[in-house]
Chains A and B, each alone.
Chain A
């Protein structure tokens, strides 16, 4: 019974994707409503997608190479951003003096969109991995910090009282009460950060790169190959969705009892 319901749910979820593909096929492939250079045929896109796994032309690398170049940079920036951002948010929320010290700088950096850093980083480091990783780092740092901060601040006074009653030290209250309280919020931050890492990456690759999915899209545009553009975009979309789901699965395991849905 439950299994059947799950299948039904899956069917409904797939329906939206099937519908958009059908519309695409109908409008572009059959009715020829737009020219091929403006928007590719569905069949053409699929065949390009398959061919791109083995052929490097016309952009210099296979899809797999582009994909791993992108993922590598994204993960570097992401991991560094999380490693710095989450503890920063926790410390700012827990220690008043540290908050006073770090907040002005943080508030100054926060409104600057990640993309605005790209020109500076290109001037400083050229178009290698480093400038892109730095842009992603900043894009990840901010949501990680903000969410960890908010999460710690949500710690209830009564929970801290329980800690006091049992004679918990300040460190025990931080690690055994405040951080568990903040865990769901920290995960929300990690997922938001995953989104911004991905978009920062593509933005950086559009401007400063010689490979990667963003670069593939950019080349596709410059040689009027809309099918290449679409292949790049679809890869970005699918990868982003999968990474988000992965984080969600980790969250369910880590934040047990916290109503992670």
Chain B
């Protein structure tokens, strides 16, 4: 039923036969082979694949940071040719500006868009509160923990209110405990401020906890192996029967594909 409803609406992100080949002095290296993917509005899609498989390249192509060799990406009917505020990105390395405070980092996008100081601080404050960083507005990144930095990164991407959020293994560098916490936080944030999300990870638990749909990708050259619709109720339990069952199923898919 849910599926049928979704199909009727035009997808927000449409990737059509995307290919990417890097030309290196040592010869051409095919990274992505014929990926076609539609993402519906407010859908949480997780790209799940082994390390170095090309998922980041795929995400960067949606962001417009990387050009495709063949095929097209359209977001809300607009063809993606360069990066822009329509698509917010949270980078794996966080990439906060160390010379700006939490507030400075979060309001950065609005500043580039020419929003007046009072207005942009008000809007930035809303997202600082949303990610639970009230009281740290004037703190510099060097004084924040890894998890807090990622919260700033998420608030910064959210603050320009993009149509699409792209997250590239945002919790990859966190310790296991913080990682669980941040997954729960991200789900809460997403539930509060719904967005179309594409989230890249190589962690199967993370994928299952967050995703409406998991796209399993093959090792290089990257292509879609299988899709899984996850309709477990949220917030999910990492140790429930259904959770573990799905986990086994996805594991089996990966093992049979490699």
- Using a CB–CB cutoff of 8 Å, the interface residues on chain A facing chain B are 156, 158-159, 161-168, 172, 176-177, 180-181, 183, 255-259
Contact = CB atoms under 8 A, between A and B. Distances in A.
A162 B84 CA distance: 10
Contacts of A165: 63, 65, 83-85, 87-89, 109
B142 A259 contact: yes
27 contacts: A158-B91, A158-B93, A158-B95, A161-B65, A161-B89, A162-B91, A162-B97, A162-B108, A164-B82, A164-B83, A165-B63, A165-B87, A166-B113, A167-B83, A167-B84, A168-B112, A176-B108, A180-B99, A255-B99, A256-B99, A257-B99, A257-B100, A257-B140, A257-B141, A258-B98, A258-B99, A258-B142
Interface string B24-38: 000000000000000
B101 interface: yes
A44 to B, nearest CB: 51
B113 to A, nearest CB: 7
Nearest to B105: A162
Interface string B59-87: 00001110000000000000000111101
Contacts of A163: 112
Interface residues on B, range: 20 to 34
B239 to A, nearest CB: 36
A85 to B, nearest CB: 22
A159 B87 CA distance: 16
Given A165-B87, A180-B99, A259-B98, 6 more contacts: A158-B93, A165-B89, A167-B84, A255-B99, A257-B98, A257-B140
A183 B99 CA distance: 9
Contacts of A255: 99
A261 to B, nearest CB: 11
Given A165-B83, A166-B160, A257 B142 contact: yes
B138 to A, nearest CB: 10
Nearest to A183: B99
Contacts of B98: 257-259
B91 to A, nearest CB: 6
B220 to A, nearest CB: 22
A258 B97 CA distance: 9
A100 to B, nearest CB: 23
A144 B42 CA distance: 51
A181 B82 CA distance: 24
A166 B156 CA distance: 10
A177 B141 CA distance: 15
A254 B184 CA distance: 38
A166 B108 contact: yes
Nearest to A180: B99
B91 A161 contact: yes
Contacts of A161: 65, 83, 89, 91, 95
Contacts of A181: 99
Contacts of B82: 164
